[in-house]
Each structure stands twice: as C-alpha cells, then as structure tokens.
Chain A
Amino acid sequence: MFMFIFRTGGLLMLLSFVAACASGPVPADHIYDPFEETNRQIHEFNKTVDAVALAPAAEAYGAAVPEDLRNMVDNSANNLALPGQAVNHVLQGEIADALQTTARFALNSTLGIAGLFDPASEAGLFEIPTNFGETLGVYGVAEGPYLELPLIGGSTLRDTVGMAVDFAIDPLRKNIPSPEREYLFLLKGLDLVGDRLAYSDLVNVLLYESSDSYASQRISYLQNMRHNIETELVIEDLEDPFAFDY
C-alpha cells in the first residue's frame, strides 16, 4: 500500500515537474542537441559494441537457431511488452489502440500458447508500439535535449524518463516472482539479438553506410518519435519547397 502511494505520488510529482517545462509541438526538422560531443562519444562506443558483439552474436544466432524458434522468442518477448503498452494507450486516451493491444495480448497468451505464436496478427490485430515517453509527449511535456544512451541508442530526456517509468509501472513485471523475472531479462536479451538480425539491412545502412551515422540516427529517431505523438505534419512548419530552386 505504501509502495503504491509512493509510486503514484512520485509519478504525479514527476508529471508536474515535467509539465512545468512543457511546450507545444516542435517542427519535424528541429534538433536540440546541447550534449552533442558526449553523445557522439557514446555513439562511437555503441557502434563498437555493435561491431564486436551484437552483430556477430546476431549472425551466430541466425545460423544456430532455426527461424521458427527465433520467431517464438520474438513473439513471446513482444507479447510481454503488451500490458505496458495497453496502459500507455489508455493514458494517452487512445481507447481503440488500448482495446486492440488488450485483445492481441488475450489472443496470443491463450490461443498463441503463452505468446509463443502470433495468431493475433493473422486476425489483423497488429502491435501498436508506444511507451511512457510518448504519453508524456501527448500531455505536452517538452522532449528536451537529444541523448544517445549507452547500449540503447537514440533517445531524448523525455523518452529516457519515460523508459524508467515504463520499467517501474510495468504491470507484468510486478506480478512475476523472482526466478522467472530473471528469465525474462534473458528472453529480452535474446530478442534484442534477434531484432539485430531481422533488421540487419536497415541497421547496417544506418550505422555503416551513412557518412555521419550519428546525425542520420538522430534525425530518424526524432522525426519518427514526433510522428508517433503528433501523427500529423504541421503545414506552417513545412519548409518552402522552392527555397533552393536556384
């Protein structure tokens, strides 16, 4: 009970703090990166980790584990993220998305045998990813400076706070006893390796084929995140398409 008050109380305090520095939507092109120098160092570190550990692990994983089994890992890791996503959809007032996420979780946890299979997608009930960082954005909290986090990658101050809150309020994690909870971390780690394999083309283009992978990742991250919150481009913010028609 005290834990609950502590948690919700802390959440409210956090919300009022971040709401104090709230602002309106920012143009899709806008970049606020006061820590660029540090961010770039972390980016180089992340690239090294990818090159020496993650990418080789993904290749080995792909070679050693058959696709059906890899899909099961992917399915069950994604399934476990759904309750937290449903909570965020509710907080954002996206009731249809919350219902779809809940239905997806119910279907895949039962018919899909504890999430190993994905019958929900076959029924058109796809995942609609979201997180608490987006919830804060919907409430008008400013995104803050861009941050590149070690081992995680692109983020903003708002999304970093959001990640911590998502971890704290995850309804599933709280209801799972200790030994199983640790297995879940293992599952998530394996899923990360699997995702690196599944998106290898995209990741390789972004990290190793672009002239400035830091800047490429930053603009992609920011624009995609803003799209998930605003969903609509603001016409006044669009640049003049003929500005460079020299």
Chain B
Amino acid sequence: MHSIINPPALPRRAVLAGIGGLMLSTAIPTFALGLTEGSAVNFIQKVVTDVHKIINTGKPETQMLVDFEAIFRDYGEVPIIAKTALGAPGRSASSSQLSAYIRAFQGYLSRKYGRQFRKFAGAKIVVVSSRDAGTKGVLVKSQVVRPSDSDFDLEWWVIEVNGRPKMFDLIIEGISLISSERTEISALLESLGGDIDKLTAKLNAT
C-alpha cells in the first residue's frame, strides 16, 4: 500500500514527533514502539535533516567523514548490515572476531560512501512515499533533488531493532548498498583465503 506523503505538509511536526518518539524510546528502552509506516517516515525525516546539515554547511572533507560515520553509527543497524554483507562465513567466527570485523566495517563503509557526499552540495532529499513490508520492515522512498542535474531515486529500508527504527539498506536507483557490499566483502574474503582477521585488517587499512 502506498501512503503518498505531501512533502510541504511534513516538516516541522513530523520531525518533532520523530524526536519525541526517539526521546521516549531512549528513556524506556524496553518499550516497543512497533514500527509503522508513520514512525519509519519520521525516522527517515530525521536522518535526512542530519544529512542535509552535513552536505550543505561546506565543512572540510575530513569533518564530513566524521559526521557521516556518526549518522551511520547512530541510525544504521551496523552489526546486522556488517553481518549480512559477510554472510554465512561469519557464522563460524568467534564473537571477538565478529565485533572487530563490525567495527572495521563501520569505518570502511563511512569512508567509502562519505567521500561521495561532497558531490551532493545543494541537494535536497524529499520523502515521497512509504510501503509496509510486514516483518521485513518498511520501505521509505525518497527523491534526491539536485539543483542542476536530474533527480534520482533513493529508497531507505527501515527495520525495527529492540523497538526502535534502524536503517538496514539504502537503494540508489535500484542498486542496493547491501548487495554491493556483499559482493565486495565476499570477493575480499576469498582473496584472503577466508581469513576473517585478515579481512578486518584489510578493511581498517582501506
């Protein structure tokens, strides 16, 4: 089902509601909000507000990378994203190997995608619709509107973790970040003879 959201009607109240919801869930961690299309959209509005701040303040790239990593860490479900990219080989890893890998993955991904951010100065992300994917979460569709270039589609896959909305995947013009990273990580792991510790070292150095 599509719930078409009228962008001009959204801003203030939706963002405030999103912040309110987040504060509530911080205060009572066990309180399950239950992911709805509305709460997922509010959540993405909040992410988008933060992204706009990063790309439109003209900060130096090093600072942008730090800010981007914070967004990825706070809003993204980094452990699940990292483990999904790693896939089955991660099942046999020890918990300390896994947590080192997840930390390395967070930095690697932030650097890789954060570098692309400076190209989006002046761009605006507008949420256009959402779809309920049941137990798989909610898909929030947005358009990236650039001043002197054509718009492109950016879809956010939001899941619920411990009663709170989290980003799982980003789909840019159909290209899934998770699919791309799974391709990359599995090729990397194969080239390193399947050694997860070497993979972690390599990600830290990339």
Contacts and interface: CB of A to CB of B under 8 A. Distances in A.
B183 A227 contact: no
A63 interface: no
Interface residues of B, number: 41
A121 B88 CA distance: 47
B171 to A, nearest CB: 7
B133 A211 contact: no
Interface of A: 28-29, 121-122, 126-128, 201, 205, 210-212, 215-216, 219-220, 223-228, 231, 233, 235, 238, 240-246
Contacts of B183: 210, 212, 215-216, 219
B159 A241 contact: yes
B175 A223 contact: yes
A233 to B, nearest CB: 7
A211 B84 contact: no
12 contacts: A201-B119, A210-B184, A211-B184, A211-B191, A216-B180, A220-B175, A235-B133, A241-B157, A241-B169, A244-B83, A244-B87, A246-B91
B168 A241 contact: yes
B84 A246 contact: no
Which 4 A-B residue pairings sit nearest by Cβ, starting from the closest?
A227-B174, A212-B187, A126-B150, A211-B187
Given A235-B131, A235-B134, A240-B136, A224 B173 contact: yes
B165 to A, nearest CB: 12
Contacts of B133: 235, 238
Interface string B171-193: 10111100110011001100100
B107 interface: no
B80 A226 contact: no
A26 to B, nearest CB: 12
B86 interface: yes
Contacts of B74: none
B173 A242 contact: no
Contacts of A216: 180, 183-184, 187
A29 B135 CA distance: 19
B184 A244 contact: no
